[in-house]
Chains A and B, each alone.
Chain A
Amino acid sequence: MSAGAVTLVALAVAVYLLKATVPLVLAGRTLPPVLLRVASMLPVALLSALVVTSTVAEGRNLVLDARVVGIAVAGVALWRRAGFVTVVVLAALATALSRALGGG
């Protein structure tokens, strides 16, 4: 098998196991109350982290580039109660414009 094929098979299995472990182990039982309290705040923590990594991370480097402009505009739009699609489109436009005007 080629390198690409070996990687594909191993990765597909490993990633699926990571995704399926908790839901299958739980198998219909509800989380104990302690874990429920954590779980309710988990999306906030995880998504905040993802916002940060997808804005300023590039591999292991922190990079301030045009994406920051896009997120700043998104933040303002959200504060001004803009709709979901508007926020996303404005972020793209702001970033593209910022790059066109000469920033990475």
Chain B
Amino acid sequence: MSGIVGRLDAEQRRILGKAATVAVSVAPFGLAFGVLCGKAGIPPWMCLLYSTLVFTGGSQFAAVGVLADGGTPQAAVVAGILLATRFVVFGVVLGDWLPPQRWKRVLAAHLLIDESMAIGAAAPREHRWFGFLAGGLAVYTVWPIASVVGAIALGGSPGLVERLGIDATIPAAFLALIWPALRGRDALAVAALAALITVVLVPVLPPGLPVIAAGAAAMLALRTPGVDGEPP
């Protein structure tokens, strides 16, 4: 293992560090999802399948949350889908980084989550694919295991995530990842507009949709002539 790490450059090792940190910070959410599965009457083996086959925290919580509240599978699926619609927009960003081989794209698409997108986007251009893979695989290692542990062992551990302040680590990680890109008027304008759109739309739209609308803020970039298409 050290041999592999030894062959990576300094930037790639930094990326691995970020991927590991992000993966650790999703673990408590995985535990919480396992607990939620218990509430919804979903056995641990099926909980594991949710986390490996769906592999999307927001959608998993939304769908199983509906089931736990006594909702129908149809309602659960719709809730889960709404929270995944943003991946169509993410796919636009991702498509630019992926190697051309179809089979790699087929597999890579499954690893598309907020975290892998964020780590890839924060990496320098030549390491975006690496960053995306590192983030995706790191979370893919931790998330299913945490879910199963939560389902089996943690029936009664309410508020674990809140007590440890873990729920703040996700936005903090996202903020840290875009921080270097928030330079210059264009980036700051897009970020501010996106944040404003989001705040306005959260009470108005079903969960998952405000983020897509914020993508419209990126349309600002279209209006700026000769914008350097090079994110830092």
Q: Residues of A with Cβ closer than 8 Å to B?
A: 2-8, 10-12, 14-16, 18-24, 26-28, 30-31, 33-57, 59-62, 66-67, 69-71, 74-75, 78, 84-85, 87-99
Contact B21 A31 (CB under 8 A): no
Contact A51 B40 (CB under 8 A): no
A85 to B176, CA, bound (A): 9
Total inter-chain residue pairs, C-beta < 8 Å: 311
Q: Residues of B with Cβ closer than 8 Å to A?
A: 17-18, 21, 25, 37, 40-42, 46, 49-50, 53-56, 59-60, 63-64, 67, 72-73, 76-77, 80-81, 84-96, 98, 100-102, 105-106, 108-110, 112, 114, 117-118, 121, 162-179, 181-182, 186-187, 190-195, 197-199, 202-207, 210-211, 214-222, 227, 229-231
A30 to B229, CA, bound (A): 14
Given the interface pairs A20-B109, A23-B95, A51-B174, the reply to whether A15 lies near B169 with Cβ below 8 Å is no
Q: Closest Cβ of chain B: how far from A84's Cβ, in Å? A: 5
Contact B102 A49 (CB under 8 A): no
Contact A38 B221 (CB under 8 A): yes
Given contacts A39-B96, A87-B176, 14 further A-B contacts (CB under 8 A): A23-B95, A30-B96, A38-B218, A44-B182, A44-B231, A46-B117, A46-B214, A47-B118, A51-B175, A55-B168, A56-B199, A62-B203, A67-B168, A78-B176
Q: What 7 A-B pairs are tightest by C-beta distance, nearest first? A: A70-B168, A22-B91, A95-B165, A96-B165, A91-B172, A49-B214, A28-B100
Contact B49 A91 (CB under 8 A): no
A47 to B214, CA, bound (A): 9
| Most-contacted residue by chain A among B49, B50, B95 (CB, 10 A) | B95
